[in-house]
Each structure stands twice: as C-alpha cells, then as structure tokens.
Amino acid sequence: QVTLKESGPALVKPTQTLTLACTFSGFSLSTTGMRVSWIRQPPGKPLEWLARIEWDDDKIYSTSLKTRLTISKDTSKNQVVLTMTDMDPGDTATYFCARTRLGTGYAFDIWGQGTKVTVSA
Amino acid sequence: QSALTQPASVSGSPGQSITISCTGTSTDVGGYKYVSWYQQHPDRAPQLIIYEVTNRPSGVSNRFSGSKSGDTAFLTVSGLQAEDEADYFCTSYTNIATLVFGGGTKLTVL
C-alpha cells in the first residue's frame, strides 16, 4: 500500500523559513519514473503546484516561487523535504505532497493527507 | 504560468450529465496529453479521477470521462449522484516542465 504523510510546524512567524517533510512508503523514489511533488491550498482557494523532485534527482520549481523553494530527497529515509524561505501570511495554506509514477503522465495518483501551516506573528 | 480557467460552479440534478471545461494555452493543455482531473471533498485531500486526458485510474467510476479539444480539456460526469458533489480541479504539464492547476469548479447536485 502506497502512503505519503506530511509533517512540519503548524505555525511559523513571518520571515521565517518553513521546513516540511513528506515521509512515504510502498514505493521507492529511486525507481525510474517516480516523482514527488509539493502542492498547497490556501483556505478556500485553489490548489497551487510548488515543486517536484524526480527519481534521478532532477528538481523543478514553480516559476513564481522558485527563489524561495528548495526540494530534496533522502532515499534511505523514504523522505522528501521542502524548504520555503521568507514566509508571509499569504503562505498560510494546507501543504500536500503527492506521488507521480510512470504510466500516468504527470498525474498525482496518491496524495498525503496534508498539513496545515499558518503564518502569523 | 497562469492558472488554467475553469467555471467557478456547475450544477445538475441526479441522473443528469454535466461537463466542466478547463482552458489553457498551446504551452500547456493544447501542447500535451498530460491533463489530469481531481475530485476534492471538503477538508479532504484531492483524488485523481482522470489522467492523460482520457484515462481513468482503477477504481474510479466509469461515470467520469475526459476529453480535449485544442487548448481546452473537459471532464464529463454522467448519471449524477449526490456523492459527486465536490470541487473539481484540472491540471496540466507545461512547456517549462512545471505543472499548473485550474481555479477549481464547485459541482452542486441539486
């Protein structure tokens, strides 16, 4: 069974750096075609794709947030980490990680439950 | 990359069919077969219902179908049921290897 679970602080202050972890099971990020993305959803608003890391360690970022994001993976821990610098109240959202596998295009076939992050002083 | 355009809301009666559009450009929807659709119930994670424009994952009802014409993709839900009431999002791969989501459509079953 494939699962993903996000973890990180529920509250961060403006200007701080957010670090989120996505811990997964049931697949290996070393397998050709596997990808993990981070996606966020502000309260009552649409989904926004943030970043993706691929099985070969290629990393792709949202053009609008590229300067603030870093994505990395620890294959031995089955974990993908996202850092976002200079947090702002506008970054308040539920942050999801999701898997993409070979044969489904770039679709997110399995999602984590999401973790809520509030940015406030 | 601008968000894909979806209608804010659609509605239909039980048993009817509805179609949700998702309009992009030649650099995303029009240029690739990598359009997918997601269903999201309140306070839940999204669930994949269509990938690569027309394909349904195992376990997804065949009442959901997808298509594309030019820069616009479509999700059709036939035989509407109360449980279909949810938000629906499209997403597409883009010419710069990013992904872009639509603004979401709220489906109301009357």
pLDDT in tens, A46-93: 999 999 999 999 999 999 999 999 999 998 899 999 999 999 999 999
Q: How many CA atoms lie within 13 A of A14 on its CB side?
A: 5
Distance from CA of A62 to the nearest CA of B (A): 6
Label each residue of chain A as H, E or C: CCEEEEECCCEECCCCCEEEEEEEECCCCCCCCCEEEEEEECCCCCCEEEEEEECCCCEEECCCCHHHEEEEEEHHHCEEEEEECCCCHHHCEEEEEEEECCCCCCCCCEECCCEEEEECC
Q: What is the largest CA-CA distance in chain B?
A: 41
The H or E element containing residue B108 is strand B105-109
Q: Are the C-beta atoms of A26 and A3 separated by less than 8 Å?
A: yes
Give the separation between CA B58 and CA A53, rounded to whole angstroms: 25
pLDDT at residue number B1: 66
How do strand B105-109 and strand B86-93 relate by DSSP bridges? antiparallel
Distance from CA of B7 to the nearest CA of A (A): 12
pLDDT at residue number B2: 78
Spans in chain B with pLDDT lower than 70: 1
Is B97's Cβ below 8 Å from some Cβ in A? yes
pLDDT in tens, A40-59: 999 999 999 999 999 999 99
Q: Please, which residues 27-86 of chain B have a Cβ atom closer than 8 Å to chain A?
A: 33-36, 38, 45-48, 51-52, 55, 57
Q: From residue B69, how far is each of B24, B29, B75 by CA, in Å?
A: 11, 9, 12
Distance from CA of B51 to the nearest CA of A (A): 6
Helix or strand or coil: residue B81?
A: coil
Q: What is chain B's alpha carbon radius of gyration, rounded to the nearest angstrom?
A: 13
pLDDT in tens, A16-26: 999 999 999 99
Answer whether B99 sits within 8 Å of A47, measured CB to CB. no
